[in-house]
Structure formats: structure tokens, C-alpha cells
Structure 1
């Protein structure tokens, strides 16, 4: 036995004697000894959610729950046994002692034990989860390792220690070598990791999406391990709210792996975990007492396609697409684990360097437009200011894509969008009943299609944020005339959306015309384009090769107005520029009158006598085979 252990044992024996008990006695006096030991060595208090804790005096600033596997109860039993020559306290004595100690804790001022990260002044403290209670303190001036945390932390069985950060080269470059994503995606990932160490803001759910073989699960496990190592960094979707709350309460960061379907209750639970949640449950062995699990967490998720997400959850995602890894570039898991373990300390050091810079500029960052996750967006803007990246723009684009995915998976939303687009600038003002009657209804109703007006109004309310993102305003603040005073829904497409829709229609029409004008390949018999597939050649007026008349009028124009391709001009063309298909646009500079329709058959080719086609709005008609002008 070491000198420290001998001293501790003697001190425990003295405490027991001071409590008026003989160490050799057995019976109810054991409870008094346990209470005396606890009050001598630990500060007892209640957390704000009503849980009793004890923190060791002059030791690691770690809060121990009174009960549990690694709680104060087991610590007291160990101390008591050492002080009493190996005599083990009875279960009844321990239970009595815990009851007394809970009363002592309730009389103290409440304190907040943090998990893994905590604010401290203008900086952040990161618990390394070592037995000694070591931590890292990050401030706007830099970061440093500390032997004892200045803030109170608590631990759980799901937590593993973080390595002490070591400045050893470019840790971000080492992380880049481990991640299978684009440069834009990697910048977003780094910004998300920096924000993950800032506890007092909502964090979007990092979502790795890609097909099989893109390294989603391994990448997510490494990312979560950087922030909050655990024996189970990847977890399956929980079966109910209680199971989810237990997992989330005991970890700062966790990942749901291979999510294919997100149920409504889980979607709501994930949203609440991002912004802050509290679950109330009946206390163990009681009928009328409750316990509260409060948490705000950093979450990640991997998926191929999570199906139709709820709009509020989609707005809380940060989606990064992963690329398929070619077989010749695929690495063995043992190799990845070794590289990750070697780089972990350096990655942390580089992240803390960047975090310190972000904390320094963050107070002066102002956003002209605040998206849904405004606090996180400010962190992105600070990262962009420090690194010269464009993560905020990438995040906004990712959020818009997520909303579009939501609407693609909602048949009712698609029907509403179609109805509003047809209404034009005036929009629509109607009740939920009228809306349900007027939207295009599929023959076989989808699962989520509202069955009555009440559900239609509720679904429209839920879809409103996503609809606004794509430019459809939803206002339900007005009421209809008496006596019913039904709620009226005003649905209007914004001017930007109408302009974009008009541009898309023009583009589609131009593409259609271009496809109509494009030359077709010869048919199986080897014949060229006919009037049946390129217009009615018989109906067109033959163009004259001279500029002295005919449908084309003066096609010669001024040669100085355009630059045709330098080609030899046959004598029978009387000096008219031949050009080629690549210079069809050049001919648009010629002053033409009575221009024939684009793609219309004009007349026979002067060489092979096959029908010619006009290319370009004002281009000369040419043969699709020999490219000769008409």
C-alpha cells in the first residue's frame, strides 16, 4: 500500500471515529459512517434538472451522480471498505446514506454539470474525459491544456477520453486525406466541427449521403470520434422516445447510422435535440416523482435516401454528398484506423487553432440575411472570414436542396405548387376545403394525402416554410365572412419565382425548337431528311441563289457585318458565302427579309438536289448531307 493510500485510510478511520462509530461494529451505524465520509470528501448539490451529485473536494472537477455504476455510492463503499479493514457496508446502510445525502444535496445551491464542452467566459472548455480531469481551454487568444477544468463536467459510460492535442503539422490536411468528399464538402465539414465545440448554439444535423461503397459509416464514426469519442459512435435508430432520450442525455455527439426511414416521432425528437429538449419520466421506484433529461446535442446521420423528410427536419440538415470510392483506391479498415489514431491529436490541435480565430472574430460578424439556423450561420461566416472559404453560401445551397427534396417527396405539396403557378400574379385566396377541391388529385391517393380539410390546413401549415423557400408565400392570418369565419389561405408566387418560371418556359421552348431544327440521321434506306420529318418541303417557296428577289430577299448584305469561315466559294454560287454549320450564327448579322421558319425545308440542294434546312434564325439554308447552300 502506498503512502497516499495509507494516509487516506487513516483519514477515513478518523472520520468514522469522529462520527461516533467503532470501525469494527456492524449494523445501522454504517450509514452514519458513510454519510460522514461523503460530507468530508465531497461537495453535494442538485443539478437544475433535479439530479443529486457530488464533486470531490480538491480533486477533478467532475460531478458524480449519487447512484449508478460509477457514482458516489460505489465510491463511498470503496472508501468505507478501505477504512474498515475490508469490511463491506450493507446495502441497507448504503441506501440509508444515499437518502440522507440527497437531502444534503437538495439544500445546496443548484449547479449545472456539462457534458464534454462548456462555455467559460469568452472561451470554451473541452473535457478530455481522463481520470485526472484534464481539459483544453480555448480562448480568442489561443488554446492551452489544463490539469483541472475551471467548469464542472459530468461523465457517462458512453464516453471515451480524447487525446491531448498536439501541434504537429497541418491537422486539417491529415483529416482531408481521410475523408471521401469534394473540397466544398470538406470545408463545410471543418466549419461544422468547429461549431461542434461551441455549446451554446443549435447545430444542424450533419448528414452523409451517398450510395453503397462511399464510406459513409466510417467517415461519420471518425467525425464523431473527433468531437466526442465513444464505444458506440454509430447507433441504430432508437425504438422510442425514452430510449432516444437516454442515449442523447449521456453523449455530446452521436450518429444514427444507415437511416432509411425517419418516423414522425423521431423527426420531431431530432428537431428538439438540435434546439434543446427535455424529457420527463417517472423516477425509478416511485409513483409520483419524476426525473427530467435536458439536452442539446450535436448530431450526425448517414443515409442513402432518408425518404420524405419533414420540412422542419430538412431545414436542420447539413448534407454532404460522398463520392463512390474506386476499388483501386479503397483502403482497409485497419489502415484507416491506424492513420486516424495517429492524426487525431494533430487534427484536434488544428481545429482548436481555427476555433480560437473564430471566437476572436465572431463578436463582430453580422449577417445581412439570417437563415433558419442563424447562430450556426454566423459561425460559418466567421470561418469564411478567417479561411477565405464560402461555407455559408454552400450551406444555404444545401438547405435549399434539402427543402426541394422534401417537396419532391410530398405529392400534396407538388399539387399546391402546380395550382399556385397556374394562378399567376394574383395568386389564390381560399379555404382549406376549397384548396382540397381545386388541387389536382391523383387517382390513387398517396399515403400522406390529406383526407379532409382539417388535415389539408395542417399539412399546408407544416409545408409553409418549405414553400416560402421556393418562392410561394403562405398567409393564413385572415378569416372569411361571418357567420362561419373560416380561415383563409392566401397563396402567392413571388415575382422572382414567376420570372424564373417564365425563363424556364422560354428556355424549354428554345430547346424544343432547336431539337426540331436539328438534322436527323439518314433512315435505314440511306435517304436523307424528308418533308415528313423536317417539315413540308412542297409547301415552301424555293429560294433563289441570287439576291435579286425570291423569299430570302437580299441575302448578300454587307460582308463587313460578319466574319464567315474561310472556304472556297463555288462559281455557281455567284460569290455568296458558303460557311459551315459552325458559323450558322454568323449569318444572323445579314439583313434578311421574310425569314423562313427555323428548321423549315427551303429548297433542293444545288449539288445533290436533296431538301435543304435553315440553321439559325437567319442562317442560309444548307443541305444536311453535303453542307452545300441552296
Structure 2
């Protein structure tokens, strides 16, 4: 009998068990290595351990796929070691305490190794872009300026998450983009812009604008977004609701390369800021699990999409990072069942990837020679669009600039204070206005019931104007806050000036003026007045015709003598073909100059019956 630690006894090992242990070179009377020691030795033999730049320990299988397994958590190296230990010890399962002790030792080993950062789905390796297919054997696709190829193993360390699904292997099978075009109901310009965005989504080291599918109900926004995100980064949850807080958002963004937020109507300020940071690159610090004084950092730059009916409620800085694709309403007779769409999408996915990788290779080759004369907010992405246009002959860069300007204009439409500022600047004229924040609040048209975002004091007004400045510049209003007022207060001055283009757009065209007084010998023949048409005067009533001259359309037709003078070389008036009406001029009386009745003209008459008025009495021809 053997005494246990708790005071109970266990039967002594049988002779057979004793002989088996002795045959393996182990003294049964001595205590062997602990389970934790065996687990640590097993891990060091089979895995290369390292720490990432954000302080997370990983292990990569030696001689296996180049996939990083996290030491922390139950879905990584811990569970693999438990399985391997059981296989090596006739099914004996290691205890949880042994696994925890072994993980502590392995983290210490990883901490002294050279740090490496495992990538998620897409990475750059020298001059090539590597796309992880998400398979268990670690296969990938490499794209460079010469084309693309499938590789059995990745030269880059990738990590996986539970949200990821495998990508199909690309297959060159016809025009994959044409197949994708049949699955989406946007315009041709919108589809070309979408295709360029998809190409850019496989370039990891640049900010990607947020793809926004916009349209009314029944336009297929959610299904279209799910297909587009699935092309880049398939997931069990391609569409997700807006996160409830920053931590849940960080977890989602850290574990997926591409994310789509579905049915976005309003975006809280914290999420708007988080989305903007995720476009350009973000890092969130959180307390490490089971610790009080240690932290972990979640770093990510992501490809984002959203579906919305109205993007006007979005913040200005978020709107500037949007790429909006308008979807058209699907008629009932053209609507397709979801199962049919899924089958068509699954069949086309390999060819879509192949066509996108073909286009990506051409874009990578053209990019070094692309230079932009003007760089918009998302300059790196704009340069990719210019390369796409160079390769394909499309006009995606112009479409993107136009869509961005429309999105910013929509945001300003949803900001009552911004609209009040725009109206104030437009009324001020070419010089604009130069005011303090308090003067701005006094001068703008204040609604009877203040909206929620209306600034309550000059400090908030100045801050809101600062936030709106990029959007105002987009619509042609320059904002300069570098000046200071006179001493002693030296208040900040805000100079708002409309651009020449905006002044031309907002200037009201000169409307025709009609004289209110009867036409006399002193004012008739004034070419600046543009009379409107009226019925013809009675035939022979020269005085009535003369008094009603202001009601006729200004169409100068001179007398016979006048016409001879034009023919003799006045090319700037009668001879100017660009100034003549497209239709033949109406026949006029050679005596008074007023239009002839069509019946008289048809019989060859050239004057009104009984008309003896001299041509100079005609207010239209006088002074010509």
C-alpha cells in the first residue's frame, strides 16, 4: 500500500506496471519529472517561442505552417500541448495547474527571444503582398508586379482568430469582375470605384476609406456588403451590429481584417472617433487578464464597411473618410432569392479573386510612376485609384472626389450651426467675414428652438467651427483662425472667405427688369431693358403700339435702311451669327418696325394698313 498526501492509501503498483516503468529506464521508487516540466520540455522541442511587439506571447510549429499560436487562452498553444501530452503518455491528461505552470515558463522563454509581429490575413513581404488563405496547412497567395502565384507555405507569420474563415484558392476562369458586376445593382461608375476599393483592400500598409453602401430599403445593401467583405476576409459574421463600447469594438477589430457594420443610422461620438482611428491605425491599451498592473495593447489598421440609408448624421471627420456607393432599387421582377445569390457568389468567388489579383499586380507595377498634382485627405488611397485609372482607363479618382464632396455636403446639411455659418458667409459677399466666436454667435441666424448640437457659448462655437473647417473648405469656404484681435483681450479672430468658385455658384443671375413707367421718347430704345411678350397691338394703331413697346421681347429688327447698313459690314451686330436666333426672324413692318400679322406677311404685305409712322418712332430700332 502507498500512503497518499491526504492520508488515504492506494494499492502498490503491480509487478507488471513496475516492469514497464523499469524497462523505460525509470526508477519506480523515485519521483519522476512533474507534468509541468514535461509540458515545458515538449513545447521547447516542438515550437519556436517569441513575443510580439504588443507584448503577446506566441509559438510557431517548427517545420510546420507559419502560423502563430497564442500562449494565452484555451484556443492556442495550451490546448495543443495538452493533446500532445496525452498522446505521449498513454492518454494521461495533464492537470490545469501543470498547464498554467508550463505557460508561465514558456512566456519567460518567449520574452527573451527576438520580437516578431504576426499578421492578420494580409501582409507585405519585401516587394510582394502575401494573402493568407486561412487553411490549416498555411497556404497563401503572393502578388507582385509580375503577377500572382499560390504558395504552399507563407514567408510571413500569420495569426488566426475564431472569426476567420478560409478563402478559396483563386482560379483564372474568365472575367471575375464581370461576374461580380452581375451580383451588385450599382451604377457602372459605382462598380468601378468598388472594384478599385477591393484592390486597395489587399494593400496592407495604407489607410483605406470606409466603404458605405447607401440606398433605400430594398436595394440589397446588407447582402451586397456581406459579399464584398467576404471577398476580402470571409467570416462567420460578415455583418455586425454597432459595438456597445470601445472594448468590444477593439476585440472585434483586433480579430478581423475586414469588418462591416450593418444598418447604421446614427454613430455616437466615441465610435465615430474609433472608426477614424481604425482607418489610419489604432492602438488600445487594456489591463492584462488576471493581473492588476500589467497591460496588453491591441494594435490594428482595418478595412471597414457599413450600410446606411442616410449618412448625413455622421460626423464630419468620419464623412471625409467615407467612400459612398449608391445602390439602386431592385424591381420585384428582378429580385433574386438569397440561396440563388449564395450559389452564384460561391461559384464566382475564385474567379473574382483571380481577377482582383491580376489587377493588383498591374497596379503595383504602375504605382511608382504615379504622382498626384493634388492630394485629397486620403492621399495614399487616391494614388492607388490613379494607378487603377492608369491601368484600366476608368475614372475612379474623379468619382471618389465627387462622392467625398457629396458626403461632406450631406454632413453640413445635418448641422444647423454649419448651415447658419454658410448662409452668413454667402450673404457677406466676396470679402467674407472676420469675427470673434462671440460675434459669430450673435450674427448667425439663431433658430427659435436651439438644436441639440447648437453651441451654447463662444468657446463651444469656436470649437465647433474648428471641427467644421475641413468640411467648409470642401464646399469652398476657407477658415483661418490664425489672427488675433487688439489688446488687451487679443481674442481669436475667425476669417471665413468664400472661394471664387463658390462666389460664382452662389451669385444669383441678373434677372430681367421691366420698366414700371410708360415708354417715352426719352427712354425708349434702352437696350438694357428686356421687355416681355404681349399680344400684338391693333393694326394701324401706331400710338398704341408705341405705348406698348415695353411689353415686347427685345428682338432688334431694323428698317430696310438699317438692314442695308448691317449688310455693309457691321459684323459685330447683324452679321454676328452667334448672336442671331436659331429660328427665322418674324416679319416686321417696314414703316413702324413692329411685327406684321402672319396673314399680311403671307400675302406679301410689308407694312400695316394705313401705317405712316417713321422708323425712328420704334423703341426697339431706335439707337441701333
TM-score scaled by length of structure 2: 0.82
Q: 2: distance between equivalents of 1:24 and 1:330? A: 78
> Tell me, which stretches of 5 or more residues in structure 2 are unaligned?
1-21, 515-530, 568-573, 575-579, 588-596, 608-615
Give the aligned partner of residue 12 of structure 2. none
Q: Which residue of 1 aligns with 2:225?
A: 220
1:389 and 2:394 correspond = yes
Secondary structure of the equivalent of 2:307?
strand
Match of 1:482 among 487, 499, 517: 487
Question: Contact 1:419 / 1:439 at 8 angstroms: preserved in 2?
Answer: yes
Aligned position for 1:600: none
State yes or no: 1:249 paired with 2:254: yes
Shift of residue 32, structure 1, vs aligned partner? 0.6
Q: Provide the C-alpha distance between the structure 2 equivalents of 1:459 and 1:232, rounded to a whole number of angstroms.
A: 37
1:289-335 C-alpha deviation (Å, 9 max, x unpaired): 11110000000000111442111000000001000000000000000
Aligned pairs, number: 545
Cα 1:440/1:543, change in 2 over 3 Å? farther
Q: Does 1:401 align with 2:406?
A: yes
> Post-superposition shift, 1:250?
0.1
Q: Equivalent residue of 2:119, what SS?
A: coil
The equivalent of 2:148 in structure 1 is 143
Residue in 2 that maps onto 1:117:
122
More off after superposition, 440-449 vs 475-484? 475-484
Measured in 2, the distance between the counterparts of 1:469 and 1:23 equals 82
Unaligned runs of 5+ in 1: 1-16, 514-533, 579-590, 597-617, 619-630
Is 1:446 matched up with 2:457? no
Correspondences of 1:286-325 after superposition (within 5 Å): 286-325=291-330
What's the secondary structure of 1:420's corresponding residue? helix
Deviation at 1:422, TM superposition (A): 1.5
What residue is the counterpart of 2:599 in the other structure?
A: 570
Separation in 2, partners of 1:392, 1:547: 65
Aligned to 1:435: 440
1:24, 1:84 within 8 Å by CA — same for their partners in 2? no
Question: For each residue in 1:466-490, what CA deviation from the matched residue of structure 2 results, as whole angstroms up to 9, or x when unmatched?
Answer: 0011111111112222222221111
Q: Which has the larger radius of gyration?
A: 2
Work out the CA distance in 2 between the residues paired with 1:84 and 1:50.
Answer: 33
Contact 1:60 1:132 in 2 (8 A): yes
Instruction: Choose from 26, 34, 50 the match for 1:29.
Output: 34
Cα 1:451/1:549, change in 2 over 3 Å? closer
Q: Is 1:156–1:250's contact at 8 Å kept on the other side of the alignment? A: yes
Tell me how far 1:542 sits from its aligned partner: 6.8
> 2: distance between equivalents of 1:391 and 1:366?
16
The residue number in structure 1 matching 2:97 is: 92
The alignment's TM-score, normalised by the length of structure 1, stands at 0.81
The answer for the alignment partner of 1:527 in structure 2 is: none
**How do residues 40-439 of structure 1 correspond to structure 2 at under 5 angstroms?**
40-439=45-444
Q: Give the structure 2 partner of residue 583 of structure 1.
A: none
- State the superposition RMSD in angstroms: 3.3
C-alpha displacement at 1:351, in angstroms?
0.3
Identify the match of residue 506 of structure 1 among 505, 509, 532.
509
Question: Aligned with 2:398: secondary structure?
Answer: helix
Q: CA offsets per residue over residues 229-261 of structure 1, 9 Å max, x none?
A: 000000000000000000000000010001111
Between the aligned partners of 1:244 and 1:80, the Cα distance in structure 2 is 36
- Over 3 Å counting, the alpha-carbon distance change for 1:506 and 1:542 in structure 2 is farther
Contact kept, 8 Å, 2:238 with 2:259, in 1: the verdict is yes
Structure 1 residue 566 displacement after superposition: 10
Residues 168-211 of structure 1: per-residue CA shift (max 9 Å, x gap): 11101100011110000000000000000000000000000001
TM superposition shift of 1:546: 8.3
Distance, in Å, in 2 between the alignment partners of 1:481 and 1:566 is 67
- Contact between 1:569 and 1:577, CA under 8 Å: does it hold in 2? no
Paired with 1:193 and 1:554, the residues of 2 have a C-alpha distance of 63
Query: How far apart, CA to CA, are the structure 2 residues paired with 1:198 and 1:22?
Result: 60
